[in-house]
Amino acid sequence: METNEHRPIDDVMLSAWLDQELDPAERARVDDWLREHPADAERVRRWGADRDALGARLGSVLAEPVPERLGQLVWRGTPPPAAPSHTRSRGWRLAAMVAFFVVGGVVGAAAMWVAQRPSALMSEASDAWVHRAALAHAVYVPEIRHPVEVNVADSPEADRAAQEQHLQRWLTKRIDTPVPLFDLRGHGFELVGGRLLPDALGTPCAMLMYQHQGGQRVTVYLRKADSSVPAAFQYEQEGDVGLFYWVEGRTGYALAGSLPRVQLLALAEAIYAQQQRK
């Protein structure tokens, strides 16, 4: 290992030292180096701390129960019949609930919602609406082929502007409140499109979906508010879906996403700022 005598002690070396991937001679050389260079020693110590913290944070997945279909697959050796991807997700129960609500909702389920929340005013009983936003998020976000009714992302570049205008006009008209297509590209989120959601109280709600380059999706909900009393930002967590919601003007807003709260807040702030400019 004569050549290694001249190998510079750089980040690659230090990183390999941390992983105990150096041979004894190199290792001793880095040991000496770290004793003489406290700043480097501190950097390596932090890398090690990050590694441990990451292990602790990513460990939660290991504790989750293994989805039945995966266990069955291993035992039977044959994959179960392909299911639509949203029924496969952890949120399938939520999905089934909302599917029921959305499809047959006008009759039974709607009555249930109303009974539970006689006056679901955003300003006082916003949890009903926010809960629905969380449910809709759980249903549509895993959808690969039909996440939205009007798809902007799939239209050719030339038609995109026209499609966006169509989406905006359609939703604005149907929910009777302006639906700005917020621009979240500064945060890496592109508009996928939107859909109209029924509401138990007969007030439809608009959903806009955004997708990050990494595949992560967030949804924004707009609804004509029952009261024009502004309501400050509130945060709620439903399972792994985080929600920010607020009322401004005569519109209720909710933002849902499985993102860390800080990241979600940044998006909520962007939406808030853009809505202020309207």
Provide the binding-site residues for other proteins, judged by CB under 8 A: 10-12, 14-16, 19, 21, 43, 46-47, 50-51, 53-55, 57-58, 61-62, 64, 66-67, 69-71, 73-75, 77, 79, 85-86, 88-91, 141-142, 186-188, 212-217, 232-235, 240, 258-263, 265-266, 269, 272-273
Give the sign of the dihedral formed by CA 173, CA 174, CA 178, CA 180. negative
Phi, psi of 201 (to 5 degrees): -90, 10
Residue with tokens 């480097």: 40
For residue 154, give every residue at least 6 positions away whose Cβ sits within 8 Å of its Cβ, in sequence order, or none. 193
**Shortest Å distance, C-beta 164 to other proteins:** 18
**Shortest Å distance, C-beta 122 to other proteins:** 15
Based on CB atoms, which residue is closest to other proteins, 151 or 168? 151
Give which of 232, 231, 220 is closest to 267, Cα–Cα. 220
Residue 167 token pair: 């989406």
Based on CB atoms, which residue is closest to other proteins, 117 or 212? 212
**Shortest Å distance, C-beta 115 to other proteins:** 29
Based on CB atoms, which residue is closest to other proteins, 110 or 187? 187
Based on CB atoms, which residue is closest to other proteins, 40 or 203? 40
Contact between 251 and 223 (Cβ < 8 Å): yes
**Shortest Å distance, C-beta 140 to other proteins:** 12
**Shortest Å distance, C-beta 12 to other proteins:** 5
Based on CB atoms, which residue is closest to other proteins, 176 or 240? 240
- Cα 3 from Cα 189, distance rounded (Å): 48
Query: Measured between alpha carbons, how far is residue 246 from residues 106, 109, 210, 231 in Å?
Result: 26, 25, 19, 5
**Shortest Å distance, C-beta 248 to other proteins:** 10
Based on CB atoms, which residue is closest to other proteins, 203 or 216? 216
Phi, psi of 189 (to 5 degrees): -105, 125
